[in-house]
A and B are shown apart, each in its own frame.
Chain A
Amino acid sequence: MNPAPHRRRSANRIHPAVYFALGGMVFFSAFPLYWMFVVATTDSATAYSLPPHVLPGGNFFHLASLVFEIVPFVQALMNSLVVATSIGVGQAFLCALAGFAFAKLSFRGRNTLFLIVVLTMTVPTQLAVVPQYLIMSRFNWVDTLQALIVPGLVSAFGIFWMRQHIGNVVNDELMNAARVDGATTWQIFWRIAFPVVRPAALILGLFGFVNAWNDFLWPFIVLKSPERYTVQIAIKALQNNRDIDLGLAMSGSFLATLPVLVLFVFVGRRLVQGIMEGAFKG
């Protein structure tokens, strides 16, 4: 018997189980977000009615305006934007710079220093929150946004990631030619290496942005006054009013999630590609 038709069939036929798994996965991924939207557009009465309403209502603007009244939510959105953008841009730029040095420049101690960078990825430093807080208070940075921004500006994983890309993509001959022409190291980085790896740096920056936007523990420790809250901490503050209105907490959650979702619609393809190319945890 000729195996060829057999083979073609097994490659093309989509088993019903696949549709089932697929549908289930999409449903479970999307449903909590959809439900957040439903409650955010109605009110607590809906959240507390059985059988549950499953369609969005028209109460969103009322609830949203309450959110902006109860906590300084515009300020919180701005704070999150400042923090997440600074970290995204910082990571894209500083990791590319360090990755460039490790991939293309020769200097004493390069391999040892790179090994140290990689090893730091395995050290769980997030658990040192007590002295981290003490250092911030020594710097007088408690309750400031730089306490969130500065420690996140560059990451070991980002350096690793950018070194891989620069090593693979940047052309040595072009670099050498530029050097012969008298270009400085900085000029070689900025005009030759960085433009070529901009897509990889963009992915890194996007992940930095999303992670910083969604960060909770560290802002929760460092931020004190409502004017400094990031959106995640503002949500927590809204949740304290839970006995008043759950719809409020959901509206806040929805408002805090919306910017990332909009961003995701535009860059989701790149983020997926980033995860498919290398790991992005942490």
Chain B
Amino acid sequence: MLSPATDRRTAGRPARSHQIQQGVRERLAPYAYIAPFFLLFFIFGLFPLLFTFYIALFDWNPIGERSYVGLKNFSDLVDDPRFWGALRNTFSIWVLSTVPQLLIALGMAHVLNHVRLRAATLFRMSMLVPYVTSVAATTIVFAQLFDRDYGMLNWLLGLLGFEHIDFTASLWGSHLMIAVMVAWRWTGYNTLLYLASLQAVPRDLYEAAAVDGANGWKQFRHITVPSLRPIIVFTVITSTIGGLQIFTEPLLANPVGGLTCGAARQCQTLTLFLYEQAFGRFHFGYGAAIGVALFVLVVIISAINYLLVTRIRSERP
């Protein structure tokens, strides 16, 4: 049934050494199958991660010159207003994008779960379009739509009698603009995740609630949200880890702003700051220190998330 090799073995007399070799190979096969992952993870993931901590202790430039400076990079970081500004910008953009994105996705999933929609697949596909479109391409489009003088958004604001807003130049304007780009990209994706979970919730639950007179909001509050709790936690954590690493949007949203995202660094995120220091100014050691700070931040926030989740779980069984 199987292969020429099998037929040969059953028909012929394989050499003993060949058989032993075959046996060893069979026993090692599983390790060979999983080896690529561990090899690549070690070389391009784990080792660089540990090496970051090492590089952060040096004044290190691309030619390979380095001198040990101990924790100086970190104390410099603490004293660096650019770092605190980047931290503030990262948090602000993350909150402005994540909160509406997940709330809208929740609402959409709830509404969509209620009806047997015609062309549901087509609709779901349209929600996925932002996800498959590249960040670089969409950022350029949004930057144009948000343009101070000729952007469609400001034109609409003008029609409504408001002043034009210089989104790229102002702190909150640029944060809002970048948050919109991030939210645009991920809302449909998160809606699909929620919708998938909701479909596992028995429809009877909603129907019984409707019979009991629970309206849409009450159903949302008491059935949809509790059923989705695990997936909500998952999306909060992934959006957080993604949100802390925002890079492309601030880089391209403000084309005249360069690596600082504007003269006042008004929308420079931590990853952009890292890139500016390491690859724009070739301060590898300082860049690595920013990388370490980002790691610590991601770990702390993940831990807080975890604690919050377990607490919520124990409070409402």
**Do the two chains belong together in a single complex?**
yes
Q: Using a CB–CB distance below 8 Å, which chain A residues touch chain B?
A: 3, 6-7, 10-12, 14-15, 17-18, 21-22, 25-26, 28-30, 32-33, 35-36, 39, 47-52, 94-95, 97-98, 100-102, 105-107, 110, 113, 116-117, 120, 122-135, 137, 150-151, 153-156, 159, 178, 181-187, 189, 191, 210, 213-214, 216-217, 220-221, 231-232, 235-236, 239-240, 242, 246, 249-250, 253-254, 256-257, 260-261, 264, 268-269, 271-272, 275-277, 279, 281-282
Interfacial residues, chain B to chain A (CB-CB below 8 A): 1-3, 5-6, 9-10, 22, 25-27, 29-31, 33-34, 36-38, 40-41, 43-49, 51-52, 55, 62, 107-108, 111-112, 114-117, 121, 123-130, 132-138, 140-142, 144-145, 149-150, 152, 155, 184, 188-189, 191-193, 195-196, 203, 207, 210-211, 234, 238, 241-242, 245, 247-248, 251-252, 255-256, 271, 274-275, 278-279, 284, 287-288, 291, 294-295, 298, 302
Query: Which of B51, B115, B134, B142 sits near A214, CB closer than 8 Å?
Result: B134
9 A–B pairs (Cβ distance < 8 Å), ordered by A: A6-B211, A7-B207, A15-B115, A39-B141, A100-B33, A151-B44, A260-B134, A264-B132, A281-B189
- Assess the B128–A275 pair: CB atoms within 8 A: yes
How many whole Å from A158's CB to the nearest CB in chain B?
9
Contacts across chains A and B counted by CB atoms under 8 Å: 311
Q: Are B48 and A271 in contact (CB under 8 A)?
A: no
Whether the Cβ atoms of A10 and B128 lie closer than 8 Å is no
List the A residue with the shortest CB-CB distance to B245: A126
Q: In the bound complex, do residue A129 and residue B274 qualify as a contact, i.e. CB atoms below 8 Å apart?
A: yes
- Say yes or no: A128 contacts B52, CB within 8 Å: yes
Residues on the A chain within 8 Å of B141, using CB: 32-33, 35-36, 39, 250, 253
A271 to B36, CA, bound (A): 26
- Give the contacting residue for B26; candidates A102, A151, A184, A261; CB below 8 A: A184
| B142-A32 in contact (CB<8A) | yes
Chain A residue numbers with a CB within 8 Å of B298 are: 124, 127
